[in-house]
Amino acid sequence: MIEDLVVGFGVRLPFRALDVAYARSGGPGGQNVNKVETKAVVRLDVARSPALPEWARPLLLERLASRLTNDGELIVTAERHRDRSRNLAAACARLAELLRAALTPVKPRKATRPTRGAKERRLDSKKRRSGSKRSRRATSWDADET
């Protein structure tokens, strides 16, 4: 039995909070791949799991919205390895990493202003670009020759 999943930020999920299932894998395994279910499918009900702290639930629902099902479940699969236990460990590690990334506080952006040199370089490049485009333009005496 796998121990609790330590996410970080004071969040620790008991293994019983996860729904684990196995399926046939498309990964390595030779002829064995058609007989044995080695792909690990781990589900966490983010919307209703009592294992998640109340402060973390809205944060996870917002930041993982694109990865959640309509029922609010986060599904992670692993099928790289040839045996169940390694795939289960890989899926749990990926789940913990996803949760950790979603719970990491967003660093506020510090407003900065462009330096004088940066402004001059930008204007200089704009002048050069407009000059090269101006040189490609048809002049009035070019139009008369046609």
User: Tens-digit pLDDT profile for the chain (146 aa)?
Assistant: 568 999 999 999 999 999 999 999 876 667 777 888 889 999 999 999 999 999 999 999 999 999 999 999 999 999 999 889 999 999 999 999 999 999 999 999 999 999 999 999 999 999 999 999 999 988 777 665 65
pLDDT at 57: 95
Residue 136 lies in a domain: no
Question: What range does the domain containing 37 cover?
Answer: 5-103
Residue 10 lies in a domain: yes
Within 1-146, residue ranges assigned H as helices are 56-63, 84-103, 116-136, 140-144
pLDDT at 32: 76
Q: Dig out the tokens for 59 from the structure.
A: 């944060």
The kind and range of the H/E element at 31 are none
Q: How many folded domains does the chain comprise? A: 1
Residue 145 lies in a domain: no
Residue 84 lies in a domain: yes
pTM of this prediction? 0.74
pLDDT at 143: 60
Question: Which residues neighbour 46 within 8 Å (Cβ) at sequence distance 6 or greater?
Answer: 52, 57, 60, 61, 64, 68, 72, 73, 74
The CATH number that applies at residue 39 is 3.30.160.20
